[in-house]
Amino acid sequence: EVQLVESGGGLVQPGRSLKLSCVASGFTFSNYGMNWIRQAPGKGLEWVAYISSGSSYIYYAETVKGRFTISRDNAKNTLYLQMTSLRSEDTALYYCARWRYFDYWGQGVMVTVSS
Protein backbone atom coordinates (compact mmCIF):
# COMPACT_ATOMS: atom_id res chain seq x y z
CA GLU A 1 0.00 0.00 0.00
CA VAL A 2 1.37 3.39 -0.99
CA GLN A 3 1.74 5.75 1.96
CA LEU A 4 3.05 9.27 2.33
CA VAL A 5 3.41 10.64 5.84
CA GLU A 6 4.31 14.27 6.43
CA SER A 7 5.75 15.69 9.63
CA GLY A 8 7.58 18.73 10.96
CA GLY A 9 4.83 21.32 10.99
CA GLY A 10 3.92 23.66 13.79
CA LEU A 11 3.62 27.25 14.95
CA VAL A 12 6.53 29.48 13.97
CA GLN A 13 7.18 33.21 14.13
CA PRO A 14 7.49 35.29 10.97
CA GLY A 15 11.03 35.27 9.60
CA ARG A 16 11.90 31.93 11.18
CA SER A 17 12.53 28.57 9.53
CA LEU A 18 10.93 25.14 9.52
CA LYS A 19 11.73 21.85 7.79
CA LEU A 20 9.02 19.45 6.65
CA SER A 21 9.53 15.77 5.93
CA CYS A 22 7.51 13.28 3.92
CA VAL A 23 8.28 9.59 4.39
CA ALA A 24 7.21 7.33 1.54
CA SER A 25 6.46 3.62 1.60
CA GLY A 26 4.79 1.01 -0.56
CA PHE A 27 6.49 2.01 -3.82
CA THR A 28 9.97 2.56 -5.24
CA PHE A 29 10.48 6.14 -4.10
CA SER A 30 13.60 6.68 -6.21
CA ASN A 31 11.58 6.14 -9.41
CA TYR A 32 9.20 9.04 -8.90
CA GLY A 33 9.29 12.80 -9.00
CA MET A 34 7.66 14.35 -5.95
CA ASN A 35 5.81 17.54 -5.13
CA TRP A 36 4.84 19.75 -2.26
CA ILE A 37 1.41 21.35 -2.46
CA ARG A 38 -0.19 23.63 0.10
CA GLN A 39 -3.68 24.74 1.02
CA ALA A 40 -4.30 27.87 3.05
CA PRO A 41 -7.24 27.65 5.45
CA GLY A 42 -10.49 27.66 3.48
CA LYS A 43 -8.67 28.10 0.16
CA GLY A 44 -7.76 26.01 -2.87
CA LEU A 45 -4.69 23.99 -3.72
CA GLU A 46 -1.40 25.68 -4.61
CA TRP A 47 1.53 23.76 -6.06
CA VAL A 48 4.72 24.72 -4.20
CA ALA A 49 7.69 22.72 -5.49
CA TYR A 50 8.76 19.73 -7.56
CA ILE A 51 11.85 17.54 -7.51
CA SER A 52 12.68 14.86 -10.06
CA SER A 53 13.46 11.30 -9.08
CA GLY A 54 17.22 11.83 -9.09
CA SER A 55 17.09 15.47 -7.91
CA SER A 56 18.33 16.73 -11.28
CA TYR A 57 15.30 18.93 -11.90
CA ILE A 58 13.82 21.24 -9.29
CA TYR A 59 11.10 23.84 -9.74
CA TYR A 60 9.43 26.29 -7.36
CA ALA A 61 6.36 28.46 -7.33
CA GLU A 62 7.23 32.13 -7.62
CA THR A 63 5.66 32.72 -4.21
CA VAL A 64 8.33 30.61 -2.46
CA LYS A 65 11.33 30.82 -4.79
CA GLY A 66 14.46 31.85 -2.92
CA ARG A 67 12.93 31.01 0.48
CA PHE A 68 12.03 27.31 0.21
CA THR A 69 14.29 24.41 -0.75
CA ILE A 70 13.01 21.00 -1.82
CA SER A 71 15.28 18.00 -1.47
CA ARG A 72 15.11 14.25 -1.11
CA ASP A 73 17.06 11.32 0.28
CA ASN A 74 16.27 8.24 -1.80
CA ALA A 75 18.13 5.99 0.62
CA LYS A 76 15.73 7.08 3.36
CA ASN A 77 12.63 7.28 1.14
CA THR A 78 12.16 10.81 2.37
CA LEU A 79 11.21 14.11 0.77
CA TYR A 80 11.99 17.42 2.47
CA LEU A 81 10.93 21.03 2.32
CA GLN A 82 13.19 23.53 4.04
CA MET A 83 11.27 26.74 4.59
CA THR A 84 13.06 29.96 5.57
CA SER A 85 12.01 33.59 5.98
CA LEU A 86 8.48 32.41 6.68
CA ARG A 87 5.60 34.83 6.22
CA SER A 88 2.03 34.84 7.47
CA GLU A 89 0.87 34.00 3.95
CA ASP A 90 2.78 30.71 4.15
CA THR A 91 0.27 29.51 6.75
CA ALA A 92 -1.26 26.40 5.21
CA LEU A 93 -1.68 22.66 5.27
CA TYR A 94 1.28 21.24 3.37
CA TYR A 95 0.90 18.01 1.40
CA CYS A 96 3.43 15.87 -0.41
CA ALA A 97 2.22 14.03 -3.50
CA ARG A 98 3.68 11.78 -6.14
CA TRP A 99 4.24 13.23 -9.63
CA ARG A 100 2.97 13.12 -12.46
CA TYR A 101 -0.57 12.27 -11.67
CA PHE A 102 -0.55 13.35 -8.03
CA ASP A 103 -2.07 9.92 -7.50
CA TYR A 104 -1.12 9.59 -3.86
CA TRP A 105 -1.15 12.33 -1.22
CA GLY A 106 -0.12 12.47 2.37
CA GLN A 107 -2.51 13.49 5.12
CA GLY A 108 -0.92 16.93 5.27
CA VAL A 109 0.98 18.83 7.96
CA MET A 110 -0.09 22.23 9.27
CA VAL A 111 2.28 25.18 9.26
CA THR A 112 1.14 28.30 11.10
CA VAL A 113 3.23 31.46 10.81
CA SER A 114 2.25 33.94 13.48
CA SER A 115 3.79 36.08 16.18
Partner 1 sequence: DVLMTQTPVSLPVSLGGQVSISCRSSQSLVHSDGNTYLHWYLQKPGQSPQLLIYRVSNRFSGVPDRFSGSGSGTDFTLKISRVEPEDLGVYYCLQSTHFPDTFGAGTKLELK
Query: For binding to partner 1 (CB under 8 A), which residues are involved?
Result: 35, 44-47, 50, 59, 61, 95, 99-108
Residue 40: what are its φ and ψ, rounded to 5°? -65, 155
d(CA 89, CA 80): 20
Task: Give the nearer residue to partner 1 in terms of CB position, either 71 or 99.
Answer: 99
Task: Give the nearer residue to partner 1 in terms of CB position, either 17 or 102.
Answer: 102
Task: Give the nearer residue to partner 1 in terms of CB position, either 1 or 13.
Answer: 1
Residues 60, 38: contact at Cβ < 8 Å? no
Nearest distance from residue 31's CB to partner 1, in Å? 17
d(CA 95, CA 75): 21
